[in-house]
Amino acid sequence: MKEFDKAAHWLEKALAHIPSAHSELWEPTLVNLAHAYRKLKMFDEAIKTYYKALTLSTRSASTYAGLAYTYHLQNNLAVAISMYEKAWLLKPDDQFCTEMLGVAPGGTYRGMDPKLEECR
């Protein structure tokens, strides 16, 4: 519903009410919070949250892809490419990472597939 501020609020609230978010069960909640931060253009918070999620599950292609895209939006292409590659190695058939690896070296996300543009 594109209510990312509300989503971030409720995800933060959920994480605040648990004794410890050091269980792999909370990884999807952290990833969704990071996605909400990215959509709100709170890139530094998104990056911190993606890294927290990676401490719980180091083999999550979608977390690496979200992290890569956030770095890409910040125009930090070297790190973005590294993260896209990590995601792609974990899930070689990932369409998003495959396309983004083709876009990232050009240094811009303008002109990409309109479906991908919606992710910003």
Characterize 71-107 residue by residue with b for buried, 16 or more Cβ atoms within 10 angstroms of its Cβ, and e for exposed. Answer: bbbeebbeebbbbbebbbebbeebebbeebbebbeee
Position 105 scores a pLDDT of 61
Low-confidence ranges of the chain (pLDDT < 50): 106-120
Question: What pTM was computed for the model?
Answer: 0.78
Q: What structural domains and CATH numbers belong to the chain?
A: 4-15+22-117 (1.25.40.10)
Q: How far apart are CA 112 and CA 76, in angstroms?
A: 17
Tens digits of per-residue pLDDT, 71-94?
999 999 999 999 999 999 999 998
